[in-house]
C-alpha cells in the first residue's frame, strides 16, 4: 500500500480506501461487513468512508461495531462521516437537512455515537446547501474542530467556486477552511477532478478522496454479458442506477469496457485493477475509495496498487484513445 498526503495537510491516507455506500446495513450482512473491513485493513487500508445517509445511519452502526469488535487501535485508522441529506436523500424535514449549524452539529454527534469513536478524522459536507450562508457552515465545522470532535473537514461535489468561497470566509473570520473534496472520479467521469479543480491542488492545496472509481462496478467488466443478477443494480431502491445500466449510452460504454479488458489482459492485469490503478495514476487523487460487497472483490482490488507502474505514458495514451473521455483543459483566457 502507498500512503499519500491528504492535499497539503500532514495527514497520510492509504491510496486505496474503503467505503460503506450501498453495501453496509443494506446489501450485505454484518459478518460480511466485518470480514471486508478486516480484509481492507490487513491489506493496508487506513481510511474508511461513511455518511449519515448511508442506509439511514445503519451503515455507520455496522462499521462502528465491526471496528470495535476487530479491536483496531484508534490511532491506526481514519474514519469519516458526511452531512447534508438527513436519513434519506428524499428527506425534506426542515431541521434535518442541509448545512445549517444545527444539522452539521447534530449529525456529527450522532455519527460519533454510531461509529463508536470520540472524533471523526474527516467530516464532509455531502453536497452544497444554497440556503445556508457558507460562513455559517465554515464556523460550525471550525467549532467541531476546536471541540476535538472533528480533525479535518471537507466538501463533496462542491463547485470550485464554492470551495474558494469557503476559503475566503475562513480567511476573513479566522476559521478552519475545507482541506479535502470528495468528487466522483473514474474513466467515464473526469472533468471536475482534472479540469474544474485543477487550480485548487497547488494553492490552497486541496486533497481528494474520490468515489465510484469503478463507475459503480461497470468498469469491473461484469456487465458485459448482461445483468449478472446479484449486483447492486438489482437491489430495491437502486432502480435509478439500473436505468443507467441500460440503453444506447450504456451499450457504448460497454464497448469501451470490452476494449479496456483486452488492454488489461495484454498488460497482465484485470479490468477492476486497471480502473483503480488509472485513478491512482493521477497525483491529485489522495485516495480512491473502493466499494466491495464480497471479500474476493477487495482482495483483487487491493492488487491495483502494484499496477500503477504498468501505466506508462504510452499505456495512458492508449487508454485515452479507447475511452475518448479525456476532458478539454480549461481555456487560459
Q: Which residues are catalytic?
A: 54
Q: Which of residues 96-125 bind ligand NDP (CB under 6 A)?
A: none
Distance, CA of 195 to CA of 331 (rounded, Å): 10
Size of the site for ligand NDP (CB under 6 A): 29
Instruction: Give me the least distance between CB of 270 and ligand NDP, in Å please.
Output: 7
Distance, CA of 70 to CA of 38 (rounded, Å): 7
Instruction: Give me the least distance between CB of 173 and ligand NDP, in Å please.
Output: 26
Distance, CA of 175 to CA of 160 (rounded, Å): 19
Instruction: Give me the least distance between CB of 252 and ligand NDP, in Å please.
Output: 18
**Residue 212 sits in the site that holds ligand NDP (CB under 6 A):** yes
Q: Find the part of the chain contacting ligand NDP (CB under 6 A) among 105-113, 167-175, 277-285, 297-305.
A: 297-305
**Residue 214 sits in the site that holds ligand NDP (CB under 6 A):** yes
- Which neighbouring-strand residues pair with 14? 3
Distance, CA of 137 to CA of 153 (rounded, Å): 11
Name the percent of the chain in helix, strand, coil, to the closest 5: 50, 15, 40
Q: What is the biggest distance separating any 2 CA atoms in the chain, rounded to whole angstroms? A: 56
Distance, CA of 46 to CA of 66 (rounded, Å): 14
Instruction: Give me the least distance between CB of 72 and ligand NDP, in Å please.
Output: 18
DSSP secondary structure string, 292-330?
-SSHHHHHHHTTHHHHGGG--HHHHHHHHHHH--PPPPP
**Residue 154 sits in the site that holds ligand NDP (CB under 6 A):** no
**132, 156, 269, 284: residue in contact with ligand NDP (rule CB under 6 A):** 156
**Residue 192 sits in the site that holds ligand NDP (CB under 6 A):** no
Residue with grid cell 457558507, as numbered in its chain: 134
**Residue 311 sits in the site that holds ligand NDP (CB under 6 A):** no
**Residue 19 sits in the site that holds ligand NDP (CB under 6 A):** yes
**Residue 215 sits in the site that holds ligand NDP (CB under 6 A):** yes
Instruction: Give whichever of 132 and 209 is closer to ligand NDP, judged by the CB atom.
Output: 209
Distance, CA of 92 to CA of 250 (rounded, Å): 32
Q: Find the part of the chain contacting ligand NDP (CB under 6 A) among 14-22, 98-106, 196-204, 308-316.
A: 14-22
SS3 category, 148: coil
Burial 2-36 (b: 16+ CB within 10 A, else e): eebebbeeebbbbbbbbbbbbbbbbbbebebbbbb
Instruction: Give me the least distance between CB of 81 and ligand NDP, in Å please.
Output: 10
Q: Which of residues 224-283 bind ligand NDP (CB under 6 A)?
A: 231-232, 272
Which residues of this protein are in contact with ligand NDP, per CB under 6 A?
19-21, 23, 49, 126, 156-157, 182, 211-217, 220, 222, 231-232, 272, 289-293, 297, 300-301
Amino acid at each position: 500500500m502507498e500512503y499519500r498526503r491528504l492535499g497539503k495537510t500532514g495527514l497520510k491516507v492509504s491510496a486505496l480506501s474503503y467505503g460503506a455506500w450501498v453495501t453496509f446495513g443494506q446489501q450485505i450482512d454484518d459478518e460480511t461487513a466485518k470480514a471486508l473491513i478486516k480484509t481492507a485493513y490487513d491489506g493496508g487500508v487506513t481510511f474508511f468512508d461513511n455518511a449519515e445517509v448511508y442506509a439511514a445511519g445503519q451503515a455507520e452502526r455496522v462499521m462502528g461495531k465491526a471496528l470495535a469488535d476487530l479491536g483496531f487501535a484508534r490511532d491506526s485508522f481514519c474514519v469519516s462521516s458526511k452531512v447534508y441529506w438527513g436519513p434519506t436523500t428524499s428527506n425534506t424535514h426542515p431541521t434535518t437537512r442541509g448545512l445549517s449549524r444545527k444539522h452539521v452539529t447534530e449529525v456529527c454527534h450522532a455519527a460519533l455515537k454510531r461509529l463508536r469513536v470520540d472524533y471523526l478524522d474527516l467530516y464532509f459536507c455531502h453536497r452544497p446547501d444554497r440556503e445556508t450562508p457558507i460562513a455559517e457552515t465554515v464556523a460550525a465545522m471550525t467549532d467541531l474542530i476546536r471541540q476535538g470532535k472533528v480533525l479535518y473537514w471537507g466538501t463533496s461535489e462542491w463547485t470550485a467556486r464554492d470551495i474558494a468561497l469557503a476559503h475566503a470566509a475562513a480567511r476573513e473570520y479566522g476559521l478552519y477552511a475545507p482541506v479535502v473534496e470528495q468528487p466522483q472520479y473514474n474513466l467515464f467521469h473526469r472533468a471536475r477532478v482534472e479540469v474544474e479543480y485543477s487550480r485548487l491542488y497547488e494553492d490552497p492545496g486541496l486533497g481528494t478522496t474520490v468515489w465510484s472509481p469503478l463507475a459503480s462496478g461497470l468498469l469491473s467488466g461484469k456487465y458485459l454479458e448482461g445483468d449478472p443478477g446479484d449486483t447492486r443494480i438489482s437491489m430495491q431502491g437502486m432502480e435509478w442506477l439500473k436505468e443507467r445500466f441500460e440503453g444506447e449510452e450504456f451499450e457504448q460504454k460497454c464497448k469501451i469496457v470490452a476494449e479496456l479488458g483486452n488492454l488489461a489482459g495484454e498488460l497482465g492485469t484485470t479490468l477492476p485493477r486497471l480502473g483503480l490503478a488509472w485513478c491512482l495514476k493521477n497525483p491529485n487523487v489522495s485516495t480512491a475509495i473502493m466499494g466491495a460487497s464480497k471479500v474476493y472483490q477487495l482482495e483483487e482490488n487491493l492488487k491495483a496498487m502494484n499496477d500503477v507502474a504498468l501505466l506508462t505514458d504510452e499505456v495512458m495514451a492508449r487508454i485515452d484513445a479507447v475511452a475518448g473521455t479525456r476532458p478539454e483543459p480549461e481555456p487560459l483566457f
